[in-house]
Amino acid sequence: MSWFVLVVSGVLEAVWATALGRSEGFTRVVPSVVFAVALLLSMGGLALAMRELPTGTCYAVWVGIGAALTVGYAMVTGEEPASVLKVLLVLGIVGCVVGLELLD
């Protein structure tokens, strides 16, 4: 169950990171509210997962999922340019996250 919570928390990290960028310095209400809610849920889930899983592993997985999804979403929506090398590097992050999960 802790791994599931951790993965969901990593997804929520991508949500709050994207919402933060779209909030335009907290001047837009809806993205600012999405940011705040996703941030609280993401951090809460991370803290919950850390009750049973090692801190270093939790943090690496949480950040890896969040980073990969954030940049992937930005490339898909055209907010960030995509390249073969960038996609391969993001897949490397995903591979490392999966590896950490398999080692536990």
Q: DSSP letters of 42-93?
A: HHHHHHHHTTTS-HHHHHHHHHHHHHHHHHHHHHHHTSS---HHHHHHHHHH
The residue ranges of every structural domain in the chain are 2-103
- Continuous segment of H or E residues that includes residue 3: helix 2-22
How high is the pLDDT of residue 102? Answer: 86
Mean pLDDT of 11-32: 98
How high is the pLDDT of residue 62? Answer: 96
Cα 64 to the center of its chain, rounded Å: 6
pLDDT, mean over the chain: 95
How high is the pLDDT of residue 101? Answer: 82
The rounded percent of the chain whose pLDDT value lies above 70 is 99
Mean pLDDT of 38-64: 96
